[in-house]
Amino acid sequence: MLSLLAIATAAMSEPADAKGPFGSVSVAGWSGGAYTDDNTGKFSSCVASASYKSGINFGVLALPTYNWALAFIHPGWSLSQGQKFPIVLSFDGRNSYNVEGSVWSANMVVVPMPNDSSLIKSFRAARTMSAFAQGNLFQFDLNGTSVLLPSLANCVRMINAGGLAAATNFTVQPGAQSAQRPAAPPAATAPAATASTQPSRASEDSPELQLEAMQIASNFILKAALSHPAILGGGERPVWLTSGGVAWKSDNATGFVRIVPSQRNVDGLEVAATIIGNDARDCKGKFISARNSELVDSAVVFRGMSSCEDSQRSDIAEYFIFPRKAGGFVLFSVITSTKPVGTGGGQQLQTREEANANFRQAAYTSIGK
């Protein structure tokens, strides 16, 4: 396991030492936990790895930003840092990917797995993986990856929220709730200067929902063509959003994506009404709201809007609520100032309706319908 410590620096400009593991992840032959940067003491990653008879060590890395990577370490490699390292990955003998790994040490290669990529989806669903590199074929058993990724996401979520003091057994048991975390308060401030936007009924505390929301939020950010977007880390987003939700910000908007699990006799308009009700409660000034439903490419989309103007802020929150294939809903929030929406760089200003149409289409296409 110690040979995989350098993976924890995949988000940095060059490798450094790491310390850990703190807590544990143990899934079907995979083992690991949380790690810190030995130079700064800051949380750097959650890692799980497995060793093989061929001599190769294979690991999965989850960064504090919920970015993912695969790492391969072989004592027989003699690589130069920065050199390109092509690898052909194949899953269950079907899906193949030509990827380019980054060399992080003389015998270690790291391959990013973007949140919205088919690569991470294939990795999670497959039972076996083969890697062809430098004329050699390596075979890997991927048993347990459907539990491993949520467990690593759970590790990141808990350490982001509670620091190393929250380290525990991060492994998520199928059909069970995730490891314990501090209870969320009943209300909190939203990602930007806006009213509270959480549904009054708490969502199920599931790392799988967190991972799903992260993938959808990444898709949304790309498709909406936001200016300088960024996913908010654990210390920046509201505590209540750590359950099944991901917050983001850009130059001219903030918002979040949240998975709302299925609830009996609750439809999209009721979800919108609950959120708007929370906004109305927290607004101390002039408040306006509306909600409706519409068809987008034959799919029913529920919409909500709330506007709050008081001594502290003046903004509009738009909500787009789409039915989720697995049940429940995918909730998108976009919060903007009541000032005209600009595209930056001296370009012509968008009307609010044009901006909302762009956000709505980006939300619709980001959920993989």
**Which pLDDT belongs to residue 230?**
76
pLDDT of residue 23: 93
Of the CA atoms within 13 Å of residue 28, those in its CB half-sphere come to: 15
Spatial CA neighbour of 211 closest among 178, 183, 249: 178
Cα separation, 104 vs 143, in Å, equals 27
Partnered with residue 254 across adjacent β-strands are 249, 335
Split the chain (369 residues) into runs of 10 and give each run's mean pLDDT: 39 48 89 88 90 86 90 89 84 81 88 85 85 81 84 91 90 54 33 37 56 77 78 55 70 86 80 82 84 71 84 80 87 78 43 71 76
The helix/strand/coil state of 256 is strand
Predicted structure pTM score? 0.49
Residue written as tokens 């099944």? 244
Give the DSSP H/E element, type plus range, for residue 153. helix 145-162
Provide φ and ψ at 159, rounded to 5°.
Answer: -70, -40
CB atoms within 10 A of CB 340: 12
Give phi and psi for 236, each to the nearest 5. -105, -25
Measured between alpha carbons, how far is 299 from 307 in angstroms, rounded to an integer?
26
- Token pair, residue 183, equals 């209870």
pLDDT at 47: 92
Structure tokens at 248: 């983001």
The domains found in the chain, sorted by start residue, are 2-151 (2.60.40.1880), 185-366 (3.40.1000)
| Cβ–Cβ under 8 Å, residues 166 and 240 | no
Specify the pLDDT at position 178: 38
pLDDT at 307: 87
Q: What is the pLDDT of residue 147?
A: 84
DSSP 283-341: --SEEEEEEEEEEETTEEEEEEEEEEESSS-EEEEEEEEEE-TTSSEEEEEEEEESSPB
Can you give the length of the chain in residues?
369
By the 10 Å C-beta count (0-12 exposed, 13-18 middle, 19+ buried), 4 is classed as buried
In this prediction, residue 353 carries a pLDDT of 67
